[in-house]
């Protein structure tokens, strides 16, 4: 986890800077922010076990000793990436649901759109969060699984409500909800900016697929 406190001692600057990450917050200490962005870049490229503390520190333009000033360990960095990534996802989904109208199809479409857009706009972070769950130690894994379950419950609730109100015909609402979230999450594995479909088209297709999956009665 990111440690609070005063700024770290001055650090050397490497030849390049890590690409920006949506996980960096405005109030992060600058060196901690650079380390977090570097961890996303290096772990995204090499995997958790293939990324060393030295690699991450070097990408941030600092030293391993300074990394440990801000984070407990490489494991702490991974937990922070996964934790903050889910915060972004859950917040976007809750906001979309708050703004949606009462119609079940509109509500499901809104949260599908939010889920898909987050996985396109924070593609590297999403891939790490999904592929490196197995690398988390038990305390961190429990935290992340709880947050993932909270995200899934948003979809479960919307689909069940649609079934109760007669808008969705599926006989298996929980399975349908899991199918929808899995499909929306998988966008991060294949989406390419500048591809055949733009972001809006991808969102529209996933909204349509989700409504088909729950048996939307038009």
Domain-by-domain residue ranges, the chain?
A: 1-72, 76-213
pLDDT digits (tens, 9 = 90+) for 88-144: 999 999 999 999 999 999 999 999 999 999 999 999 999 999 999 999 999 999 999
For the residues 174-191, what does the mean pLDDT come to? 97
Q: For domain 1-72, which CATH number applies: 2.60.40.10, 3.40.190.10, 1.10.10.60, 3.40.50.300?
A: 1.10.10.60
| Per-residue pLDDT band at 3 (split at 50, 70, 90) | low
Give burial (CB, 10 Å; 0-12/13-18/19+) of 80. buried
Closest CA to 105 of 170, 10, 25, 149: 170
Residue 8 has pLDDT above 50, yes or no: no
d(CA 71, CA 2): 5
Asked if the domains at 1-72 and 76-213 fall in one CATH topology, the answer is no
Q: Are 107 and 207 in contact (CB under 8 A)?
A: no
- Domain 76-213 coded CATH 1.10.357.10: yes
Q: Supply the mean pLDDT for the chain.
A: 93
Residue entry with tokens 């590297």: 124
């Amino acid at each position: 986890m990111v440690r609070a406190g005063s700024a770290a001692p001055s650090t050397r600057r490497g030849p390049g800077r890590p690409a920006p990450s949506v996980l960096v917050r405005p109030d992060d200490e600058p060196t901690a922010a650079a380390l977090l962005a570097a961890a996303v870049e290096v772990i995204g490229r090499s995997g958790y076990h293939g990324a060393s503390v030295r690699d991450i520190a070097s990408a941030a333009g600092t030293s391993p000793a300074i990394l440990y000033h801000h984070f407990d360990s490489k494991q702490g960095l991974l937990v922070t990436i996964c934790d903050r990534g889910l915060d972004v996802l859950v917040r976007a989904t809750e906001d979309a649901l708050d703004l949606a109208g009462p119609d079940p199809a509109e509500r499901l479409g809104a949260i599908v759109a939010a889920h898909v857009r987050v996985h396109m706009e924070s593609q590297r972070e999403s891939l790490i969060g999904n592929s490196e769950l197995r690398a988390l130690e038990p305390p961190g894994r429990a935290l992340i699984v709880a947050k993932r379950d909270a995200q899934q419950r948003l979809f479960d609730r919307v689909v069940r409500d649609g079934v109760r109100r007669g808008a969705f015909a599926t006989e298996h609402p929980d399975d349908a909800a899991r199918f929808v979230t899995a499909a929306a999450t998988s966008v991060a594995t294949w989406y390419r900016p500048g591809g055949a479909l733009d972001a809006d088209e991808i969102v529209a297709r996933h909204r349509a697929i989700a409504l088909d999956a729950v048996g939307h009665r038009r």
